[in-house]
Structure 1
């Protein structure tokens, strides 16, 4: 009869979490190729042999981070409801994505680095779970546009725009803060700006009466 795997001790759980948190720092700064196990061990405050007791390789650590990240990354889009008020639902998604950039900047840069490398460790997830979810929500947005509840818009490029305009504040945080200068809250200001931008984009134009023309003078 096969033995059940032993439950991990509190120390093992804590050390695993410490390693993953340190690796998130290192990978988000240096990318997968530039990161080393020595760097991760140093940031974690552990020896390299101790680190390898928990994770067999740099690839194993990176894969563990990406697996955790994808589920978190998809949650804001999952929350977009087909039975909600269309503009409110889309703006809610914009705000949730901006909050993620504010609260999880390292995760955003980790994801961006992986995509820039051609997604060698995430391609299956991108073409599978992520694409399936985007297809589902794109169909909802298209139905709203077809029903005249939002202005005509390509749903996929709308989602791409939301990704680009929200994740910019995490991936290019240093540049954003340098250009704005002191005394600014980039995320609070972006929240107002993006709300206005997407609200104007999505609000259907009201057809007014045809302009009257008077006699030529």
Structure 2
């Protein structure tokens, strides 16, 4: 009985420790996102990230060995989030509905994850030193695969002829703009929420582009 009790206590401690580690890791990444988005990579420091996360610097270094490790972890997680909407294109679905759904999901990401979008844009503008290999391999393969689906719809006359890869680029440009240039968008519109109007406009734009 005592052995079982001791074992169950160890298990509870292990589970509790795992939860604390997960919580601390998430706190570090959330804090780092804000610091990197505000100060850029060069302006961010481990001390500043630790303070924002509510942890000591030695505690932070227990989870991540360097600023670069934190930055890379953020970018890797961001890429997965960013590419999921493209992966969701259904070859068997209605082409226009599928592409409009992709546009809407990308716009939702711009609305819900503006700091992540700016961090990604910052990395790209620096020449993508930490994710170039991923862009040239994983991203390129995914875009080519999804472009193949779009090309198949075009060949079957289901949507108007367009360049599939540049169509994907257009989706990126027209949706992520609302995150990366949020201050400019709101300054011009004078509105607190530009996204309902953006969604309606982009729906019209892509419906006209894709109409046969």
Assess same fold via TM > 0.5. Answer: yes
Structure 1: how far apart are the matches of 2:147 and 2:113?
25
Q: Deviations over 1:103-159 (max 9, x none)?
A: 111111111111111111111111111111100011111121222211110011110
Match in the other structure for 2:103:
94
Partner of 1:129: 138
Q: What secondary structure, in the 3-state scheme, does the structure 2 residue paired with 1:120 have?
A: coil
| 2:196 is aligned with 1:191 | no
Q: Which residue of the partner structure matches residue 7 of structure 2?
A: none
C-alpha distance in 2 between matches for 1:44 and 1:87: 43
Post-superposition Cα deviations, 1:68-91, rounded to whole Å, max 9, x if no partner, equal 111111110000011111111111
Corresponding residue to 2:148 among 139, 148, 151: 139
Match of 1:36 among 6, 20, 45: 45
Match of 2:125 in 1: 116
Q: Which residue, 133, 152, 159 being the options, matches 1:150?
A: 159
In the alignment, the residues of structure 1 paired with residue 93 and residue 22 of structure 2 have an alpha-carbon distance, to the nearest angstrom, of 40
Q: Within 1, Cα distance between the matches of 2:35 and 2:174?
A: 25
Q: What corresponds to 1:209 in structure 2?
A: none
Equivalent positions of 1:1-80 (< 5 A) are 8-80=17-89
Matched, 1:81 2:86: no
Distance 1:25 1:145 in 2: 42
Could you tell me how far apart the structure 1 residues matched to 2:133 and 2:127 are?
12
The size of the alignment, in residue pairs, is: 198
Kindly indicate whether the alpha-carbon contact (under 8 Å) linking 1:31 and 1:114 is maintained by their aligned counterparts in 2: no
* 1:166 shift after superposition: 0.2
In the alignment, the residues of structure 2 paired with residue 158 and residue 31 of structure 1 have an alpha-carbon distance, to the nearest angstrom, of 30
Unaligned runs of 5+ in 2: 1-13
Measured on the aligned residues, the alpha-carbon RMSD in Å equals: 1.4
Higher helix share: 2
State the distance in 2 between where 1:194 and 1:172 align.
Answer: 17
Structure 1 residue ranges without an equivalent (≥5): 1-5, 205-217
TM-score normalized by the length of structure 1? 0.87
Indicate the structure (1 or 2) with the bigger Cα radius of gyration. Answer: 1
Q: Is the 8 A contact 1:41 1:51 kept in 2?
A: yes
Offset of 1:53 from its aligned partner?
Answer: 2.0
- Secondary structure in 2 aligned to 1:149? coil
